[in-house]
Structure 1
Amino acid sequence: MQYVRLGQSGLKVSRLCLGTMNMGSKDWKPWIFNEKESEPIIRHALDQGVNFIDLADFYSIGAGEEVVCNVLNRIGRRDNLVITTKVGYAMSDDINAQGHSRKNIFNAIDASLARMGMDYVDIYMLHYFDTDTPVEETMGALNDIVLAGKARYIGISTMTTGQLAKILMVCDQNSWQRPINMQLQLNCAYREEEREMLPFCQDQGIGVSVFSPLARGILTSDLQSTRNKTDFFTAEMYNDEASRNIAHSVAKVADARGCLPAQVAQAWVLNKPEVTSMLVGADTTEQFDSAVAALEMQLTPEETYELERNYTPCDLINDYTSGKRTSRFSRPAKEPFA
């Protein structure tokens, strides 16, 4: 396993991060693994040297944190792990049990730690940018949580570059803790973050952890999985001609390499110098091994062109652009993939 500093912090994380959205309770989604099903995957990730674990209170409405940390508390060493969880999405019908108000952040961190059976989380992250709460209120609350010892660092996820700039300005003006990690979506079929967010994070010394490197599974060439057949967001985000053509290009490069398409798609993400760590939401130990192999894969210029030639600009994928994707068209192929 490879380890790198997360941004300009002193924290060192594995280049592969265990994504856990698929672990928790089947009452939430049909493709979720229960604790017994999750344990072999978690154990295998730790055996492969992973020390970075990604959680969120919203996953299985709290059951995800409980299931994953039950396993970690049994088989892992807390001091050796870098555990992150997120706050923001609605956890109940209570109007204040959502968003990034001081009230919800304080309530949510205590509830998360209780479910996790832990005294602190390494990185406490905003799940998105809450436009209904003043940034000063949100970041002041996060700073107080760090000072209280309930979190070692803070992070953010899924927002525009301007929103992140606003957060950093408020932190600097008040000498509050700055976020050390930005978690964002990046893959061959969604590259909008390359325009501003990745360069800005690099300039500001913020680490980048990438989720959905397989575009919610379409880049594996398996569109018949339970998740792809039942997850509304997969169809909304990637049901266009360009995405399908990109998936076909990934399969062509993989066939020429003699490896799985998933490995090629993951290698494309890991080859990006701005990417600190890549989340792996594996359903099997074999799927996790594909990501481990991708760490050592260097793509050729010809392979990179084939993977990127179909991409055209699209609307940002975030909480504010649902249902507003634009149609996209591909460029012609070149040898040796024509």
Structure 2
Amino acid sequence: MSRGIAVALFAVTALVVQAPSAAADVCGRQVVGDILAKYEQMGGETSLLGCPTTDELPTPDGRGRYNHFEGGSIYWTPTTGAHPVWGAVRDKWASMGWEASKLGYPVGDELTNPDGQGKRQQFEGGTVYWHPTLSNGAHPVWGQIGKLWGEWGWEGGNFGYPTSDEIPSPELKGFIQTFSTHRTVLWWSTGFDNGDTNHPVCKEECVGYKAAIGSEWVKATEVARNLVNGNVDISVFPTEEGFESADTSYDRLWNQSFSKVPYPDRWLSDDQGSSLYKQLACHARYSYDLGGGPLSGDTWDLEGWAPDVSWDYAMNPIFFLDHGCNWYER
């Protein structure tokens, strides 16, 4: 080894030895490095965190470090940085298993939402949302349910704040999650013929949403979208009055069907929307019962991939005998 290289290596070694990570004794506890820097940036002992209640410790997975404080914790990894976690968000994260949970480590500090009241914090595996009156506690949102929710405006959009965690649904072989506008977002798992006769489109992975309508003619509406081919179908659940009288105004029936769920116009063309309207009208027109149940079915299923057809083809009783309001099959 040349003398020049040896001198250079000695200098680097000296720098490492002479510049250890910053450390401080705070309230009798050791706080170090980036966690100390974040703590001091927040105001140290005068911040919401208060005094540390532990020394800096390694996390069980070996990826990171943390300190607990009177008012929360700071967690750090080389890739995520140091971030405080506290309050309802920390309680939820702790109940799920801390950094060993599906959420992983925090990747940002807690933020205030545009409404000025709710809070959110992003983690490696999702985001936890909380509102003092709307969210029923703090709840994580992630995956395809989170993606659909975001597409419709996050907490300020059509669904509002999450009011539950994801809930397993054996019927869907997937999950559902409830939101503060009394709407539910659904995810059907991939690769299963899940037997959901309401949505023939969902023999592959699907997302969707539903809500109780509670109107004169409609009990509930449910929307599903196939994530492989983009096909959409809609199930409208009529009331007894709907079976009997919805044929008197198709516009009124349509408006009631989408009064409490967003119409999925971003997933549909104008021609597809026209076809859906005619399918709904056809179901309402042929909803009378000849003794074996309504001719047009107990649930009015509307297929977004069905071609638009003429009103005569949609409503003529001769053609109805052929298509039964399901002309996508013809």
TM superposition score category, shorter chain reference: under 0.3
- TM-score, normalised by the number of residues in structure 1: 0.25
Tell me which structure has the larger Cα radius of gyration.
Answer: 2
What is the TM-score of this pair, normalised by structure 2?
0.26
Structure with the higher fraction of residues in strand conformation: 2
Greater relative contact order (Cα < 8 A, sep 6+): 1
